[in-house]
Structure 1
């Protein structure tokens, strides 16, 4: 199912260059935010923080954020379903952590885990989250996503996930989802939100979440040594929600709901 999108409106981010991250712009963003002439009004105001990040992306350099258009889809999910616990895989500079962490807090949620591999990006996230006044809700976890998920389970800091936002290395979408299935983080009612399923695209992930239980079982049986087994008995209902990158390029988010477990 494809949901209708509005046309892209407003000023786009700067064009995406050949090298568009991890070249110092993330630290430049911090200087931009903390040196902003409206810092006093921005501090403690999540929306003003997002506006300032967007301002940097529009006037200085491109940032690979989810952006205001696609993030609205997920904010609406949070408002509707009122999750207690949300986990994101891949936090970059904290745009999603601020947007979704604020929505989670306003909806009565308890904890937002932002898992980020790059320690410098994680430090940026922490400072941006603090600027937004969300440090009591958002917890930044540094390290490989799979290792962080295992550690959170081992330390009993994470029992289940209400909404899982996937926005890290595209090849890790399936393996980390299957790991979450193995760890029993995914249950009936859990929602998965996967970004960038058009740009750059992620056909293997889309195939998996759109497959029936029988199709997933057959695929698992055909693999000699599956890298990550997962739980093929989980039933998923998936929707393709069109949207836009902040640069104005068309993209989409795949919204998938676990509706139950098939036992026979």
Structure 2
């Protein structure tokens, strides 16, 4: 993880985050904004130009709950340093991260980027923008609840291993979905997880889990009496966060976790 750092927030921020800031029609409005854009033809097949247009909408029209260019730099660098073959994203929204990280994955010769998005309308917007960016041969958009999609991809023998897992969906699902990936055997030594929004709005349960020792996880697993995945407490993690910024300029961080071993 050497070389990752805090990126200073510079330039123009997104519009302020309102009380209702998604699923109010702005996602379709974004699509019209881009396809009515004077520079549309220059965007075709050029991921960065599409990202610039998404950022332009967020800065001049309405807030979008994207990872934004500042935190995205850290994960893009991670992809370039680690050369993953398969990346799975939980929570794709309108495709900002899928385009940014899918382009980085393509650049290092990676195989497939799976973006799991529960909202079919968001997934449709994402698919259109991914295609505009020329990344349809790399990025596969999967519609449905993340846990169901993970189980289905494994059952179909489509997904066998995750090199890099990006978590950016419903915050209480971070821990349960990671445990599910552990149980399904999708993560192992060498797998890396990047969890967004661990400061804003925060995710203390996830941080506690990935920072716990095997002994602590085993003890909690033995007391587990609820439904849902128990995970694999024997996986050894090295975890820390990288400071960054929301596109609105609010401080945030990404938790970077590496699976470094298995304790017997």
Asked whether 1:105 is paired with 2:128, we answer no
- Return the alpha-carbon distance in structure 1 between the equivalents of residues 242 and 134 of structure 2: 30
1:222, CA displacement in angstroms?
1.7
1:226, CA displacement in angstroms?
5.2
Q: Residues 192 and 257 of structure 1 are in contact (CA less than 8 Å); yes or no, is this contact kept in structure 2?
A: yes
Q: Which residue of 2 aligns with 1:166?
A: 167
Aligned-residue CA RMSD (Å) = 1.3
1:190, CA displacement in angstroms?
0.3
- Return the alpha-carbon distance in structure 1 between the equivalents of residues 75 and 157 of structure 2: 26
Q: Which residue of 2 aligns with 1:125?
A: 126
Q: Which residue of 1 aligns with 2:232?
A: 231
Structure-2-length-normalised TM-score: 0.98
- Return the alpha-carbon distance in structure 2 between the equivalents of residues 182 and 227 of structure 1: 11
Q: Which runs of 5+ in 1 are unaligned?
A: none
Q: Residues 220 and 226 of structure 1 are in contact (CA less than 8 Å); yes or no, is this contact kept in structure 2?
A: no
Asked whether 1:45 is paired with 2:46, we answer yes
1:260, CA displacement in angstroms?
1.2
SS of the residue aligned with 1:260? strand
- Return the alpha-carbon distance in structure 2 between the equivalents of residues 221 and 152 of structure 1: 29
Q: Residues 43 and 132 of structure 1 are in contact (CA less than 8 Å); yes or no, is this contact kept in structure 2?
A: yes
1:57-72 correspondence to structure 2 within 5 Å: 57-72=58-73
Asked whether 1:150 is paired with 2:136, we answer no
Structure-1-length-normalised TM-score: 0.98
- Return the alpha-carbon distance in structure 1 between the equivalents of residues 191 and 5 of structure 2: 23
- Return the alpha-carbon distance in structure 2 between the equivalents of residues 53 and 262 of structure 1: 44
- Aligned residue pairs, count: 263
Q: Which residue of 2 aligns with 1:189?
A: 190
Q: Which residue of 1 aligns with 2:212?
A: 211
Q: Which residue of 1 aligns with 2:254?
A: 253
1:250, CA displacement in angstroms?
0.2
